[in-house]
Amino acid sequence: MITFDDGYESCYTHAFPILKRYGFTATIFMLAGYVGKWNSWDARLGWKRFKHLSKDQITDLSLEGYTFGSHGLNHLFLTFQHHETVQTELKVSKSILEDILQKPIDCFAYPYGNYNPRITQLVKDADYHIAFSLNPSPQLINSQSYYLPRIGIYLWDTLNTFKTKLRQNGEIRFRIECAKNILINRLAYGNLIRFHASSN
């Protein structure tokens, strides 16, 4: 299964033609509050900005067999948010995407892979059937449906590291990938705090 988080326009302009050439589709976890907008939410990229998919692009990809899920409204660290804020992120994002696609949205990807039992329960209460984390695992099939693991591929991954991740088949590699994901998420949170502090 191939997934993309955030729903950048590059999913349409770059990934879509390549995947189509080889007979693949993907699931895109869309940041519903930024449909057709630039990613001003991402403090990590500083001056570098990317545009998110438009409504028309989302519809086109859906017609091509792509599945869409929610990634929230504003890409927040949900475990740091109040109950009402999390509910809004979950329910309003679901409603926006269902309005665009005219079909149910029943899967969710935790922003930054950040979740805890409270967030997972709220995801269930918002009528999502499955949810994805960023924790790699060699046991994909037997995972619980609200903690489905994934192997993250990032901008700085080379073709060699990409191949290594796809061949992941050992305890050592599994632990390395887990450690890398934890580090990436902690750095993202630190940059977010710094970004907001400098903006005030």
Q: Which tens digits make up the pLDDT trace of 121-147?
A: 999 999 999 999 987 655 544 457 998
Report the b/e string of 152-173 with b at 16+ CB within 10 A.
beeeeeeeeeeeebeeeeeeee
DSSP per position, 136-148: --S--TTS-TTSB
Q: Report the predicted TM-score, pTM, of the whole model to 2 decimal places.
A: 0.85
- Contact by Cβ (8 Å): 156, 118: no
CATH label of the domain that carries residue 88: 3.20.20.370
**pLDDT tens digits for 70-125?**
999 999 999 999 999 999 999 999 999 999 999 999 999 999 888 999 999 999 99
pLDDT at residue 158, as a whole number? 81
pLDDT at residue 196, as a whole number? 44
DSSP state at residue 54: P
CA distance 190 to 193: 5
**pLDDT tens digits for 23-65?**
999 999 999 999 999 988 876 655 678 999 999 999 999 999 9
Which tokens is 191 given? Answer: 């940059």
Query: How many residues does this entry show for the chain?
Result: 200
- Contact by Cβ (8 Å): 89, 79: no
pLDDT at residue 198, as a whole number? 42
What share of the chain has pLDDT > 90, as a percent? 60
pLDDT at residue 194, as a whole number? 42
CA distance 183 to 154: 13
- Cα distances (Å, whole numbers) of residue 44 to 13, 112, 194: 23, 12, 10
pLDDT at residue 184, as a whole number? 67
Where in the sequence is the domain holding 65, given as residue range(s)?
3-199
Query: Given the structure tokens 């438009």, which residue do they identify?
Result: 54
- Is residue 173 over pLDDT 60? yes
Which tokens is 196 given? Answer: 């907001």
Tally of domains within the chain: 1
